[in-house]
Amino acid sequence: MSIGFDGKVAIVTGSGNGLGKSHALALAARGARVVVNDVGGDRNGTGSSTEAAKEVVATILADGGEAISSGANVANYAEVEAMVKETIAKWGRIDVLINNAGILRDKSFAKMDLDDFRLVMDVHLMGSVNCSKAVWEIMRDQNYGRIVMTTSPSGLFGNFGQTNYGAAKMAVVGLMNTLVLEGSKYNIRVNALAPTAGTRMTEDLLPAPVLELMTTEAVTAGALVLCHDESPNRMILAAAAGGYASVKMFETDGIFLAPEEQNPEKVFDSLASIKDAGQNVPFESAGKETEKFVTKAMAYVQSLKT
């Protein structure tokens, strides 16, 4: 099947460099009209410039595509609203949002200043919240929307020195999970990309031969799958160096303890059974997880009556 975006309007945040730039160029090459958003700071969030975004726009225009630039700070909702209003005024709709903007302020938790923790959370988490909120009613009204969150292996699995980044990247998965439920009847699909690529965010973290394998284009191939007409919904797609995998959150089947056994000693003694992953279950909502436990408890109550 051919994946195209003719007639679609896409906003890609943090698209002046790196992965965002790769996403924006690929969307435009496949027919999308693209808002290239980038505040223009360095990777730790300091400074600002419109030049990087404008250069990406110039490349798209030179290749015959349509694009505009935006210097909106995704952590500032008023600036995001203004970007969205400008997009609607120019093209009349917004079909795709890729929440890609991010910064790094890495330190061990013991040495990390809380201001650095908050700033990373503001850009990654609140930036994704702000942009998703600003386009949500538009997507509902047009009965179509594709939103991609950018999570990370650092959030899904942890990475030393990245408590702020990891917390934010796990938080956007929680945001995705509920937006999927709220957007489904409006044909709004929400997915998450868990990328690793050779960009300025990782250039001093990995050796050069490894970075050469980890192209941004390889990740973008996965990103475009998450935001086209026939995209999946609620998928976490890991992508790096030409490898693609689905990341899922499972819960073990667990155990049930009768009321007289519901004490910490019995729970501790049952840890092996509790951790047994033989019947892992992915849940569609928190209510489904509660239903599992209540069903076990009701079965116990029923057994007392028979």
Active site residues: 165
* DSSP E strands, 151-298: 188-195, 236-240, 243-247
**Residue 248 φ then ψ, to 5°:** -125, 150
**Sign of the Cα pseudo-torsion (215, 221, 226, 232, in order):** negative
> Could you tell me which residues are beta bridge partners of residue 59?
none
The token pair at 141 is 């009204």
Q: Is 182 helix (H, G, I), strand (E, B) or coil?
A: helix
Q: How far from 124 is each of 15, 99, 129, 141, 232, CA to CA, in Å?
A: 14, 8, 9, 26, 23
Instruction: Tell me how crowded residue 54 is: count the other CB atoms within 10 A of its CB.
Output: 18
- List, in order, residues 6 or more apart from 21 with CB less than 8 Å away: 15, 36, 52, 56, 216
Type of residue at 234: R
d(C-alpha 134, C-alpha 147), whole Å: 12
- List, in order, residues 6 or more apart from 75 with CB less than 8 Å away: 122, 123, 126, 127, 130
